[in-house]
């Protein structure tokens, strides 16, 4: 039986996702792709509404004082729907409705901690998804892989004392290991092949022994050439990473994988990268 890929979409004004969801034409027609959206006026055929995240879910991860501060920014709605996609995807994967998912976020995850946020992140969707899966399904072991160019200080803080969540962050910071949090140092200029080798080594050393039951991938493309976090990665690097992480998910946890769009600003790169990454997710074999 083919279990579909889910696309979770928050319709947002702005430059980088201006070509979406129309750039998904051809992908959305497939029987094995389901589209979940919020606020999109003319919905494609196979679609489901995406519900906002309940306040009590926000408060399980973030302080009520921080939630109030996010409300005051004016970006609260987008922040809530961005995290809602990740939580909904995780629950639907665990329910068997979909195998894997791609989350179009307006606002990312990894700079949002228990009582702080910033740099384009408001709420930590992956952290809320972990919490919900624990409570609803008694899932025990989670992996979060972070290949945004910057350090995920929020995710690090939320899980640094939690041995059941493996967090592997690839960034310019020094190597560090604390409980199940690992920071992998990436040089300022790096070739695709050396980045892939770093990732392969890290996955072999930490993921394989950890054996997660579901993998979240905080995927940013801000480390690509010409982006604001440029570390010299080429666009094609992201396709190979998607294949490698999908294969790892298939080997370890029957393919359960949630890709969360994080950093990256350029519209043409989004147009080049995102549809192909979703196609890789939806392929029946790597």
For Zn ion, the binding residues (CB under 5 A) are 148-151, 169, 171, 173, 183, 220, 222, 263
Calculate ∠ Cα 175-181-187, nearest 5°: 30
Task: Tell me the sheet residues that pair with 219.
Answer: 261
Nearest approach, Cβ of residue 79 and Zn ion (Å): 16
Query: How far apart are alpha carbons 196 and 176 in whole angstroms?
Result: 19
Nearest approach, Cβ of residue 129 and Zn ion (Å): 20
CA distances for 96 relative to 1, 2, 45, angstroms: 11, 11, 21
DSSP string, 201-266: HHIIIIIHHH--SEEEEEE--TTBTTSTT--SB-HHHHHHHHHHHHHHHHHHHTT-EEEEE-S---
Rank residues 109 and 222 by Cβ distance to Zn ion and give the closer one: 222
Rank residues 151 and 246 by Cβ distance to Zn ion and give the closer one: 151
CB 99 within 8 A of CB 49: no
Rank residues 138 and 175 by Cβ distance to Zn ion and give the closer one: 175
Rank residues 90 and 145 by Cβ distance to Zn ion and give the closer one: 145
161: tokens are 């004392």
Rank residues 41 and 175 by Cβ distance to Zn ion and give the closer one: 175
Nearest approach, Cβ of residue 268 and Zn ion (Å): 18
Cα end-to-end distance, the chain, whole Å: 17
Nearest approach, Cβ of residue 218 and Zn ion (Å): 9
Nearest approach, Cβ of residue 95 and Zn ion (Å): 31
């Amino acid at each position: 039986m083919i279990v579909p890929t889910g696309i979770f979409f928050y319709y947002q004004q702005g430059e980088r996702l201006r070509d979406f969801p129309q750039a998904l034409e051809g992908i959305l027609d497939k029987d094995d792709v389901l589209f979940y959206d919020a606020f999109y006026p003319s919905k494609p055929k196979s679609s489901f509404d995406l519900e906002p995240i309940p306040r009590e879910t926000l408060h399980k991860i973030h302080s009520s004082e921080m939630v109030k501060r996010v409300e005051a920014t004016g970006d609260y709605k987008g922040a809530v729907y961005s995290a809602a996609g990740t939580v909904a995807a995780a629950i639907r994967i665990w329910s068997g409705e979909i195998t894997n998912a791609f989350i179009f976020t307006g606002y990312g995850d990894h700079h949002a901690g228990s009582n702080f946020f910033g740099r384009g992140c408001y709420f930590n969707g992956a952290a809320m998804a972990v919490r919900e899966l624990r409570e609803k399904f008694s899932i025990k072991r989670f992996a979060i892989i972070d290949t945004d160019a910057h350090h995920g200080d929020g995710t690090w803080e939320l899980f640094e004392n939690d041995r059941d969540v493996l967090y592997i962050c690839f960034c310019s910071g020094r190597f560090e290991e604390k409980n199940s949090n690992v920071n992998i140092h990436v040089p300022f200029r790096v070739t695709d092949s050396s980045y892939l080798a770093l990732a392969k080594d890290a996955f072999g050393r930490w993921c394989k022994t950890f054996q997660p039951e579901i993998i979240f991938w905080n995927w940013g493309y801000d480390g690509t050439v010409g982006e604001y976090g440029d570390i010299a990665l080429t666009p094609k690097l992201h396709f190979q990473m998607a294949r490698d992480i999908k294969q790892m998910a298939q080997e370890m946890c029957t393919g359960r994988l949630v890709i969360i769009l994080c950093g990256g600003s350029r519209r043409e790169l989004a147009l080049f990268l995102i549809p192909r990454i979703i196609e890789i997710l939806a392929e029946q074999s790597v």
